[in-house]
Amino acid sequence: MTDKFWDIDDVLAEQQKIPCFVSLDIPGYGFLDGNSSENLAKNTRVEMPFWLVYPMTVADSVEIEIPACFSKRVTDDLSTSAKSVNLNGLCPCFFYFGIKFVNLIEGIALGKVLAEAFSERLAEIMRYSQSGRSYSKFISFLDDTEKQIFQIGRESAHLMQMWSNGLCNNDKIQAARVLKKTNVKM
Amino acid sequence: MALPKALRSSLTPQEIEFIAENQQITIVPTRAINDKFELLSGEFGPFRPPLKSKVPLWLALLLKRKGKCTIVPPVWLDAEYLEAKLEEERASAGFTEMPFMWLETANLLVKDAQDDIPHYEQVRNYIKGIKECRGNKAVAGLKFITIDLFSQGFLNLDNLGLMEVNEIKPFFAKAFDEMGKFSGALATDKQ
């Protein structure tokens, strides 16, 4: 689980909250529920980050509820039309978190749904990254992983474009790409 | 690493062009050059028109720019041949067979040796057409990156040229990487 200790994406994904029910009274942890009482009563519903839920599931002290971003409604949407779901709105690290979450619990068919949605969306990402179409609206629907892939595709398409237009003479000093990009919303 | 991301994952088009420039090509010198070129890659010359000789593409282009030779374009850089290729490309689902560095070579020759290519305009259009057609196919091939691919283990992209592979490589590699994570997740699904 901790093989990517320094990976910021990993940290962000583990920060996502999962709603769960505590299966025993925990003395002194009432603050998690937002009330001032001393104890966290059994069967209270609290939202805890993934990194905390993981050891607690192993110890059998919580029961997990499916987070909103992997709810039935979302998975249904994904299997009908993966391309039109706004994953960034659901959870910015949707796929990363999804893979972690699938590994956490057994017996739900979430992994397959995610994998199929991912590959369906890939084709669309490729198409956008290779064409000159306006993409600012399109990438607002992508999660972080997909944005990275999109960016990579864009880079190489741009290099190709420069090359075939004969613009890549390195004897001229050019402004860095970053400076030119100020009007692009990411 | 300090290298920019674009340079880490693949070669740049310029680097590929550089590699392509090392191919041998036939030239017909128009002026006699009696000295030999003693280069690291070998000795070239002396050139005596109208005897043909084989030199690396970069040297051919250099001499061409100075007006000291005409270049004999490769057999496949021919309007009729390319027209047939374009039709074949459109008709088949896979990629048709082309020389490994066709795009780079064609681009270099079209740029600097226009007058040596018969039906230059047509050739240029066919090259463009074939490139676009193959590009679309490569993008369409992406729908085969599915989870099942991991049991199969490879994606078949036969006959793709160096430049074409290079363009899609970073994207495909990253996509594959991410897809691999799902295959791990699926293993737990089945348990």
Structure tokens that stand for B53 in this block: 């000789």
Q: pLDDT confidence of A156, banded at 50, 70, 90? A: confident
- Segment A83-141, tens digit of pLDDT: 889 999 899 999 999 988 888 877 667 888 888 898 889 888 888 888 777 888 888 99
Residue B176 CA to residue A146 CA, distance in Å, equals 12
pLDDT of residue A165: 78
pLDDT of residue B91: 92
Any bridge partners for residue A40, and if so which?
A26
Q: Rounded mean pLDDT of A53-79? A: 89
B178 interaction partners in chain A (CB closer than 8 Å): 95, 118, 145, 149
Cis bond upstream, residue B50 (ω within 30): yes
B163 interaction partners in chain A (CB closer than 8 Å): 160
Q: Identify the residue with better confidence: B140 or B153.
A: B140
The class level of CATH for A69-169 reads mainly alpha
- Whether residues B189 and A170 touch (CB distance < 8 A) is answered with no
What is the crossing angle of helices B13-20 and A144-164, to 10°? 40
Instruction: Tell me the domains of chain B and their CATH numbers.
Output: 5-18+75-190 (1.20.58.1020)
ipTM for this prediction: 0.80
**Given CA atoms A35, A40, A42, A43 in this order, what sign does their dihedral have?**
positive
Residues 6 or more apart from A159 whose CB is under 8 A from it? A168, B6, B12, B13, B167
For A104, which residue in chain B has the nearest alpha carbon? Answer: B188
- Segment A169-181, tens digit of pLDDT: 555 556 666 676 6
pLDDT of residue A105: 79
A114 interaction partners in chain B (CB closer than 8 Å): 182, 185
Q: Are B94 and B117 in contact (CB under 8 A)?
A: no
Choose from B171, B174, B190 for mutation: most chain A CBs within 10 A: B171
B114 interaction partners in chain A (CB closer than 8 Å): none
**Given CA atoms B138, B141, B147, B150 in this order, what sign does their dihedral have?**
negative
pLDDT of residue B64: 92
Q: Identify the residue with better confidence: A52 or B190.
A: A52
Structure tokens that stand for A74 in this block: 């979302």
pTM of this prediction? 0.81
Neighbours of B44 (CB within 10 A): 19
